[in-house]
Amino acid sequence: MRKGLYFIGLAVLTIIISAAVNQPKAPEYVEGELLVKFSTAITAQDVNSAMVQIGAEAVERLPFVDVYHLKITTAKSVKKAVEEFSALPNVIYAEPNYIYTTMVIPNDPKFNDLWAMLNSGQTGGLAGADISATTAWDLATGSTEVLVGVIDTGIDYTHADLASNIYTNPAEDAWSNPNDPSTGDHVDNDGNGKVDDWKGWNFVDNSNDAYDDNMHGTHCAGSIGAVGNNGVGVVGVNWNVKMVPLKFLDSNGSGSSADAIKAIEYATALGVHVMSNSWGGGGFSQAMEDAIQKASDRGILFVAAAGNDGTDNDAIPHYPSNYEVANVVAVAASDHGDKRALWGSSGGDDGCGFVCSNAVAAVPGSNYGKTTVDIAAPGKNILSTVPGNSYASLSGTSMAAPHIAGAAALLLSVKPDLTIDGLKTALFSTVDPLDDFTNKIVTGGRLNLRTAVESVLPTP
């Protein structure tokens, strides 16, 4: 059972209905750039010779996965350069520097109730079609000892509903103004190569300001850990948690493989417990899989959105949710009626009974996959935090994945020694089975936070 990488960014004003067979969109990549992994037997001189021969120069080396980030210096296409590097005897693999984007579908009407946490039918949905959060909170509300790496567009770390749940690096001197990254002491106190990284890191600009200039990352953070019981705004799955802003997606919600890998490396070195990844869009990347594997080796859960095209990930892989690494959890989106979420509709079946396979869904919705998508969580019309002390409702598997990342963090607050397998067992074995997901995802159901927490409570 496994996943694929593709970001679910589906901002649609008009939905075109098509009966044609879905042709997978060619993954986008950074023009003139590629990632190359050389054999360990090759010398530095031979590496330089290979780059000169093909016409490329090093931008940087990504030591986490021992891969060179290269820039083509001739008029040669990326495809041609990949072919030529791949043909060299001391090259293990060469691939484009893929572009990833956010997986969110903006929804204009303001959604004023957190139906995902407690659904009484207040939005016209099905009463009880929620994650049973309120009863779970009778047992646990989270812990500031649990770290969640939010790998996204950054986080508004000044937001009144998030500020106290933002991680601050104890090995770096605090900024004199906690809301101004320029007020650090301009010293790399912890010696990790990142100056004044007191509140995460910006891999787009290579700076210590991971403020969200999009909104996507802040929205995801709110679902994971908007402060609870503070008399302000909304509440996340965790009332208490620490979230690390790791910005690799720019203001347009776009980022590269190289920057995503660096974010994963940073989070792994920091020792986060869970990584929340509401993005995708590139093709299969061996370098990305290697990075995720290293996080898995450190016992870090990697939660990933399954995609927003309404297609079957078993047939059309979506990355990073399709990577076959033990720590990857792929998340589908459900709606307020406990149906597979469809975008631009009130929810429910898309008219093809989930046997559309490669056909374009009449109404695009959450991706699914009997062997490649693990679990569902609320992902349509989700109210959460956005920059500027504001709130908005967004839809997409981008909104579903943070509910699972948050759930994993809550479980770790109850039982800190849970392994990746332990977390997956607790999440997967306690779902509420749903008809719309039966034989369409691995668990066949939607997150039930209460039963998941109960499953890891100490035995009396």
Q: What is the CATH number of the domain that holds 298?
A: 3.40.50.200
For the chain, which ranges sit under pLDDT 70? Answer: 1-25, 102-113, 345-363, 460
Query: Which residues are CB-contacts of 31 (< 8 A; sequence separation ≥ 6)?
Result: 78
pLDDT of residue 357: 28
199 and 174 within one domain: yes
User: Which single residue is written with the structure tokens 């089975």?
Assistant: 433
pLDDT of residue 130: 85
d(Cα 380, Cα 127) in Å, to the nearest integer? 16
197 and 167 within one domain: yes
168 and 120 within one domain: yes
382's tokens: 């989700």
Contact 261, 64 (CB under 8 A): yes
110 and 86 within one domain: no
Q: Note down the domain range covering 76.
A: 29-98
CA-CA-CA-CA torsion sign (214, 219, 224, 226) = positive
d(Cα 276, Cα 237) in Å, to the nearest integer? 13
pLDDT of residue 352: 26
348 and 285 within one domain: yes
Last residue of a domain, one of 82, 98, 114: 98
pLDDT of residue 108: 27
Angle ∠(309,26,399) on CA atoms, nearest 5 = 30
259 and 238 within one domain: yes
Q: What is the tally of structural domains in the chain? A: 2
169 and 66 within one domain: no
Catalytic annotation on 216?
yes
366 and 427 within one domain: yes
d(Cα 281, Cα 296) in Å, to the nearest integer? 22
pLDDT of residue 21: 35
Catalytically annotated residue among 69, 156, 212, 216: 216
340 and 208 within one domain: yes
d(Cα 194, Cα 164) in Å, to the nearest integer? 23
Catalytic annotation on 46?
no
Distance of CA 228 to CAs 139, 162, 275, Å? 14, 10, 21
pLDDT of residue 282: 83
Catalytic annotation on 152?
yes
Q: What is the CA radius of gyration of the chain?
A: 21
Angle ∠(450,224,266) on CA atoms, nearest 5 = 130
174 and 226 within one domain: yes
Sheet holding 432-433: strands in order across?
201-202, 240-247, 142-152, 274-277, 301-305, 328-334, 375-378, 445-446, 432-433
pLDDT of residue 363: 62
d(Cα 409, Cα 224) in Å, to the nearest integer? 8
Catalytically annotated residue among 296, 366, 398, 413: 398
Contact 441, 375 (CB under 8 A): yes
Catalytically annotated residue among 130, 132, 152, 366: 152
Is 16 inside any structural domain?
no
Beta-strand ranges (E) seen in 136-271 are: 142-152, 201-202, 240-247, 254-256
User: Which single residue is written with the structure tokens 């139906």?
Assistant: 115
pLDDT of residue 132: 87
Last residue of a domain, one of 55, 79, 98: 98
Q: Does residue 320 have a cis peptide bond before it, meaning omega lies within 30 degrees of 0? A: yes
pLDDT of residue 127: 85
Phi, psi dihedrals of residue 118, rounded to the nearest 5°: -150, 110
pLDDT of residue 24: 55
Euclidean distance between the first and the last CA atom of the chain, given in angstroms as a whole number: 34
333 and 184 within one domain: yes
Neighbour-count burial for 179-206, b at 16+ CB within 10 Å, e otherwise: eebeebeeeebeeeebebbbbbbbbbee
Last residue of a domain, one of 47, 78, 98: 98
Say how far residue 256 (Cα) sits from the centre of its chain: 14
Is 9 inside any structural domain?
no
